[in-house]
Amino acid sequence: MGQPLAACFTLISHAFGPFLTFRIMLSLLSLFTLYFHFVAARPPSVPLSFTRDQDFNRPFALSTDQSLFQAPTLHSPVEPPSLSLTAIPTTIFRPRSLDAFFQARSRSLKSAESEKVEWERVDVLGPNVEDRHTLAQLARMTGNAYALPGKKNWYDIDPAWNISFPFGWEDASEGFRGHVFLSSDNSTVVLSIKGTTIQGPTSKKDKYNDNLLFSCCCARVDFSWVFSTVCDCYAKHWRCDNTCLSEALIEDSLFYSVGVELVKNLTSLYPSSNVWLVGHSLGGALASLLGTTFGFPAVAFEAPGERLAAQRLHLPLPPAAPFSRVPAAPVTHVYHNADPIPQGTCTGFGSPCASAGYALETRCRLGKSIVFDTVGKLNWRVDVRKHPIREVILNVLEQEDVEWEEDAEVPQAKEEEDCVDCFKWEFGDFKDYV
């Protein structure tokens, strides 16, 4: 079915443009779902609870659209573990009115004035992030944001989720791309967002978003970066202009703005479905920012810290949970401690990130974090080559012979309260110096 869908997708995209194409194809996808569920007499499945019994590990190799610092590697098929994807009742904070949310954000951006946003506690079915197999399935969906079905770097997932719709692939330079996965009964929609690629048609826009969202000041790492910055907000002597940064972050070309429109389209087509967002690296940070905006559960794999980006985007944040000082964003970060990128340590002169032109300096996050101790448990060294999503899938989440935490399948998700980004920088109104 993948080739006819792809041909249909290409034909419609040329005729109607990306966003109308998105709505048309999702509608068609719903019809395909109904067909397989009723016409093909598919046995009914329990929503979000199933067991894999098929071989899903095919020989694996990267295409030229590679994730950040990822070298082509072949993996032999292995015996698949029994996997299940489970959902649990989850309480989240959601803006009572999206119009009021964006109005408050606009007022803060344009007038530096705050406006109260009302939040409501909502009980939804969210991913069970305490279940390692559920995280593994979500990580596979995340990995698929880098590929198209049928390609060698496509990860097989449970048949209940085999209906998916690609977005952002019709324009080779679009940048913001990935897949929408639908459960067999359309009760849950998973939006998977692609992260950074260093060799591919989206690379330029990926790097621009990385350096704007995760650098302290316009990707100005040191004097050698004076011609590589992404905005002109540096005000000398480690000072950076806040207003200038905010203006740079509201450009329509920024992936966050594109993602907002995409999620609006998705929710209008599936108003009664549970929506989850997932992503890796840059895609994980975007999933977090969009999940916080709309009040949808998000799982971010190996993502740089996005708390500073949320502040600069002037996003109203939900209230803190009881006994907490951190806003109760519906986000779970998943990363391991051999990856320097989510820890904000792949920085400075001579680092692999800086050498490749990336200023990934932030480390403070929204929500909670699940941190796998691969340095202690697997004797890994801190190395940026451990950043690709395949490392998380094959060597962390699907590693069966490692006890990551006593009496638990995964480490406990914790808030990162005492976290400071860009401590050596001074931010304020320095327009007279720019």
Catalytic center residues:
281
Give the whole-angstrom CA distance, residue 287 versus residue 304: 12
174 within 8 A of 202, measured Cβ to Cβ? yes
In terms of phi and psi (left: phi > 0; alpha: psi -120 to 50; beta: otherwise), the region of 408 is beta
- Residue type (1 letter), 109: L
Burial code (b: 16+ CB inside 10 Å, e: under 16) for 113-131 equals eeeebebeeeebbbbbbbb
Backbone angles phi, psi at 248, to 5 degrees: -65, -30
End-to-end C-alpha distance for the chain, whole angstroms: 56
Rounded to 10 deg, the angle between the 2-16 and 18-34 helix axes is: 150
* Helix/strand/coil percent split, the chain, to 5: 35, 15, 50
Residue for token digits 């779970």?
Answer: 332
Give the whole-angstrom CA distance, residue 101 versus residue 106: 9
**Structure token digits, residue 218:** 């316009």
Give the whole-angstrom CA distance, residue 320 versus residue 406: 29
**Dmax of the chain from CA atoms?**
70
Backbone angles phi, psi at 371, to 5 degrees: -115, 120
Residue for token digits 């034909």?
Answer: 11
Give the whole-angstrom CA distance, residue 362 versus residue 57: 34
Give the whole-angstrom CA distance, residue 313 versus residue 307: 10
Count of Cβ atoms closer than 10 Å to residue 239 Cβ = 16
**Structure token digits, residue 120:** 């409501």
252 burial class (0-12, 13-18, 19+ CB within 10 angstroms)? exposed
DSSP state of 387: -
Sheet strands (E) in 168-307:
178-182, 188-193, 197-199, 239-241, 274-280, 298-301
Give the whole-angstrom CA distance, residue 202 versus residue 176: 8
Count of Cβ atoms closer than 10 Å to residue 236 Cβ = 9
